[in-house]
Amino acid sequence: MNEQYDVIIVGAGPAGLTAAIYASRADLKVLIIEAEVNGGKLSKTYEIENYPGIKSISGLELATQLTEHGQKFGAKLISGEVLEIGENEGKKEVRLKNGDVYLSKAVVVATGTKERTLDLPHADEFTGRGISYCAVCDGFFYRNRNIAIIGGGNSALEEALYLASLAAKVTIIVRRDVFRADATVVDKVKANEKIEIITKHLPEELVIENDRIVGLKIRNVESGEVSTVDCAGIFPYIGADPCTSFVDPSILDERGYILANADMSTAIPGIYAAGDCIRKDLRQVVTACNDGAIAANSIAKVLKE
């Protein structure tokens, strides 16, 4: 049995790290557990322009600053994958994949979401060598080449702007004839001469030659006509699903998002949730930080009472 904590936070994204700041400042003993990259999706985002007080900052820089801030007041950060949250003599028992077990008085689940993968034949085979889910990570490999982006939300358009600075041409493929992104981002994309927008189309088939992706066949959703976009790289931004496989199903909705109250508590006493993994309308860095602050404050209040 490992150390015991007042609060264990699962996830070191904006929600989890903000919760760590507030909880440790409330003189609580805090453990943060992150399965992948500290900072969450921030570390994969090229630029942030809607975080209050900061006009523009790279996602990696903001992730680094939040990670450092999250530990400033004594919170401990470790790497590990949580398999289960159970009960042990009135405390929460957090079990990790490596066999480690931690106890705490409360748990904050702040695991965010994971990008949906492209559902086409051979897509898994070419992930990392023609298909990428991280423009910042892999954009350099497609310098001066043609790139296709699938999706019409903020992530797709923001990454299209970044990739346009590297690629010869960027083609955005959108299922509908409208974008789900912010108007300012849409305007920037439309004004960029290196970006072409194709609406009312869906990806149909990878075009592969000599074991390399050379294009993407797309289908018109109205006529059914199939055409080909020449590209060396494909970046899908087609939505995401909550990372909540280890969470008790009784506090999840039909899509797997956690049902959290206004104070970020759930129907299971001692289990709180924050950030993109909860059911809500707006998923942004600032709303994730808001959730984390509320969760930590709620826990501190309960424990002190």
Residues annotated as catalytic are 134, 137-138
Question: What span, in angstroms and rounded, lies between the C-alpha atoms of 60 and 39?
Answer: 8
Q: At what angle do helices 59-71 and 14-25 cross, to 10 degrees?
A: 30
Q: What stretch of H or E contains 103?
A: strand 101-109
Q: How far is it, in rounded angstroms, from Cα 21 to Cα 37?
A: 18
**Euclidean distance between CA atoms 28 and 209, whole angstroms:** 57
Within 8 A by CB and 6+ apart from 78, the residues are 31, 32, 33, 34
* 3-state SS track over 71-137: HCCCCEEEECCEEEEEEECCEEEEEECCCCEEEEEEEEECCCEEECCCCCCCCCCCECCCECCCHHH
Q: What is the rounded distance in angstroms from the CA atom of residue 214 to the CA atom of residue 210?
A: 9
Distance CA 244, CA 256 (A): 7
Residue of 69, 46, 44 lying closest to 57 (CA atoms): 46
3-state secondary structure of 241: strand
Tokens 């404050």 appear where?
297
Widest CA span in the chain: 67
